[in-house]
Amino acid sequence: MIRVGQGFDVHQLTEGRKCIIGGVDIPYEKGLLGHSDADVLLHAITDAILGALGRGDIGTHFPDTDAAFKDADSLELLKEVWAFSKEAGFTLGNLDATIIAQKPKMAPYIPQMAEIIAQALEADRSQVNVKATTTEQLGFAGRGEGIASQAVVLLIQK
C-alpha cells in the first residue's frame, strides 16, 4: 500500500528568537516565533506524515497549550511521529518540501537540512528534496513578516 500526505505551516519572524529551519540554526537578524523552536519546515513535514497516516496533525499530538512542548526540539517531535509510521510498517518513498521565505537565503543550508531530515526518517539522502522560493516580495513572506513551508510525503507499506 502507498499513502500520500501533505503539510503546510507558517511561523512569524521576530527579533530575539533563533531561526531554526530543517534542524539547522540559520544565522539571521530575526527568528521564528512559536511554542516550540518553531521549525516551520519540520512542522510541515511532521504534518505531511501524520496526514499520510490519517493520524490528525501536529497540534493534536503536541498541543501548544502543554508546557511539555515549550521550546520543544521539532526534530524530536518529527522522530516521535516517524515512530508511528514504522509501527504501522511504513518506510519513506520520497519527500519533497518547499520553504517560502523572502530572506534569509536558504540555499547554503539546504544540503544539511536534507541530511538531517533523511536521518530522522531513516531514509537515504536521495529520497529527500528540499527547495526554497521567495514570493517576489509579495504577501507576508515577501514583507519578511514570516516564513511558510509545505511538504508532500509518500509512504510505502511493504
Ligand X SMILES: C[C@@]1(CO)OP(=O)(O)OP(=O)(O)OC[C@H]1O
Instruction: Extract the annotated binding site for a divalent metal cation.
Output: 9, 11, 43
In terms of CB distance, is 52 or 78 closer to ligand X? 78
**Residue 57 burial (CB count, 10 A):** 14
**Which partner from the list ligand X, ligand L45E5XJ5, none does 55 bind, CB cut-off 5 to 8 Å by kind?**
none
**Residue 6 burial (CB count, 10 A):** 14
Task: Collapse the DSSP code of 60 into the 3-class scheme (helix H, G, I; strand E, B; otherwise coil) and give the result.
Answer: helix
Binding site: residue ranges? 9-11, 35-36, 43, 57-59, 62-66, 101-107, 133-136, 140, 143
Nearest to 70 by CA among 28, 38, 45, 25: 38
Least CB distance from residue 134 to ligand L45E5XJ5, whole Å?
A: 3
C-alpha cell at 78: 518529527
Nearest to 119 by CA among 97, 92, 153: 92
Nearest to 44 by CA among 100, 89, 111, 93: 100
Interface positions with ligand X (CB under 6 A): 9, 34-36, 38, 43, 58-59, 62-64, 69, 72
C-alpha cell at 116: 538531517
In terms of CB distance, is 30 or 43 closer to ligand X? 43
Contact 32, 148 (CB under 8 A): no
Is position 132 an interface residue for ligand L45E5XJ5 (rule: CB under 6 A)?
A: yes
Number of residues that bind ligand L45E5XJ5 (CB under 6 A): 7
Which of the residues 85 through 114 are near ligand L45E5XJ5 (CB under 6 A)? 101, 105-107
* Closest CB to ligand X: residue number: 34
Contact residues: ligand L45E5XJ5, CB under 6 A: 101, 105-107, 132-134
